[in-house]
Structure 1
């Protein structure tokens, strides 16, 4: 599974970063940056939690 971000929807809440800090980082511009390499070794449950808890629905899980 991988995760994509819709930068038009992302408002930088940082809940994804709090869930999986090795994968997600809210950059200086206020938008999330995804480390695909770290995501590949992250627990799928943590990625799904980040996607499901995004208040602006900016994250999407790709199977």
Structure 2
């Protein structure tokens, strides 16, 4: 699986980084700059939790087969 972050939708709440700090990259202002990243199987639950916690819905979880 992978995560895809819509940087234009991110409002810098940084909730994603609280949920999955090892998966999310933030700039100095708290905006998610991850872009697109592969998620290891052991981190899939964290990735889904981070995506679900984003108030703006800026993080999509994409199945590797999609």
Q: If each structure's strand is expressed as a fraction of its own residues, which one has the higher value?
A: 1
Shared fold (TM-score greater than 0.5)?
Answer: yes
Indicate the RMSD between aligned Cα atoms, in angstroms.
2.0
- Number of aligned positions between the proteins: 62
What residue number does 2:37 align with? 36
> Which TM-score applies when normalising by structure 1?
0.80
1:6-17 equivalences in 2 (<5 Å): 6-17=6-17
Gaps of 5+ in 2: none
Pair member with larger Rg: 2
Q: If each structure's helix is expressed as a fraction of its own residues, which one has the higher value?
A: 1
